[in-house]
Amino acid sequence: MVAKVVDLRSDTVTKPSEAMRAAMAAADVDDDVLGADPTARRFEAEMAALMGKEAALFVPSGTMANLVSVLVHCDVRGSEVILGDASHIHVYENGGISTIGGVHPKTVANNPDGTMDIDKIVAAIRHRGGALLYPTTRLICLENTHANCGGKCLSVEYTDKVGEIAKSHGLKLHIDGARIFNASVGLGVPVDRLVKAADSISVCLSKGLGAPVGSVIVGSKAFIDKAKILRKTLGGGMRQIGVLCAAASVAVRDTVGKLADDHRKAKALAEGLKKIKQFSVDSSSVETNMVFFDIMDPRISPDRLCQALEQRNVLAMPASSKSVRFVLHYQISDSDVQYALTCVEKAVEELLKGGTKFEHLTNGATKHSYGH
């Protein structure tokens, strides 16, 4: 009998549900590169309507979704994008906007709540008169929820304000909405209203929603027409993708309603971690499905804690040299949360005694697994 594994590494680790597998098996498919896959076309239309935009495009990954979006908006080499210094696009996507697109990043400090100060965004916009010396600002990027800031939600008021600034300066606004449905649920704001100010949004289907593969980009029809060409250029044109879109459609239908429960369990996990004196965790800052906590005792490192947890079939990731991240998803139960807390307490106790020995652990929960 295989032991139960409580996997808190990321919300990307979910397994397809039986309903998803059944939909994949029954999907009506054709060649999507030729624009002929009926399931893909139907799903893209559904996502565009849900997000309040004209059109949508399925792509293999969130990284490609963001890269394509930036390159559509910044279609002249030497363009510049304003984005957060802790944003996923800037930190965890291999510098693709620069290495592939020739787009220069202009970083603005992210605040603990995931925002960038409005006055700093305005100050980062290049004056047109400096075109001889400087890159040309064409785009502002936001991330909602903001992963590196603990899954924080950017409010609709803040997003609207950034959208106003972009429009008044002749710029575009892209939202990395990998977990935009978590933000919508956390804020109690319909998702189409939350992204109304954006010219484009990337939406990950394989994080909290639980689909096995893929993201969608949404925007105007003209934007998506250009995005489709770039998707092909980057190797993202696939054939019978209705098999994947069928699972994604089930994920959107079935899982959005479960996100609030993920948030509740994350809060419960944070409250439990708060009772462990070697940790520092602000449970009031847990807004969605992520829990970050700092380790205050120098005898315990994030790597060693994750290794000790792995020996108890609890998987987690270091978030930095002094912190650990737990991510909740719909396949984590209340009893899983309690089991994880018990294992954390036991792991801390053993690490403080200095008697734990680690063997070769290979399931991805060890060193430097940041950024998912």
Per-residue pLDDT of the chain (372 residues; tens, 9 = 90+): 457 899 999 999 999 999 999 999 999 999 999 999 999 999 999 999 999 999 999 999 999 999 999 999 999 999 999 999 999 999 999 999 999 999 999 999 999 999 999 999 999 999 988 888 999 999 999 999 999 999 999 999 999 999 999 999 999 999 999 999 999 999 999 999 999 999 999 999 999 999 999 999 999 999 999 999 999 999 999 999 999 999 999 999 999 999 999 999 999 999 999 999 999 999 899 999 999 999 999 999 999 999 999 999 999 999 999 999 999 999 999 999 999 999 999 999 999 998 656 554 555 544 444 555
Shared domain check, 333 and 248:
no
List of residues 6+ apart from 12 with CB closer than 8 A: 206, 207, 372
How many Å apart are CA 158 and CA 175, to the nearest integer?
12
The total of structural domains in the chain comes to 2
**Number of residues in the chain:** 372
The answer to whether residues 245 and 296 belong to one domain is no
1 occurs within a structural domain: no
Query: Same domain, yes or no, for 244 and 264?
Result: no
**Sequence-separated contacts (24+) of 323-326 with Cβ below 8 Å:** 323/292, 323/293, 323/294, 323/295, 324/292, 324/293, 324/295, 325/290, 325/291, 325/292, 326/8, 326/266, 326/269, 326/290, 326/291, 326/293
297 and 163 in a common domain:
no
Rounded-to-integer distance, Cα 97 and Cα 177, Å: 17
* CA angle in degrees (0–180, nearest 5) for 68-132-171: 40
- Domain membership of residue 332 as a residue range: 258-353
Q: Flag whether 203 is in a domain.
A: yes
Task: Give domain status of residue 90, yes or no.
Answer: yes
Give which of 313, 254, 252, 233 is closest to 67, Cα–Cα.
233
In a domain, 179, yes or no: yes
- CATH number for 149: 3.40.640.10
In a shared domain, residues 185 and 312: no
Q: Tell whether 34 and 78 lie within a shared domain.
A: yes
Do 271 and 247 share a structural domain?
Answer: no
In a domain, 5, yes or no: no
Both 63 and 127 in one domain: the answer is yes
Question: Quick one: 179 and 242 in the same domain?
Answer: yes
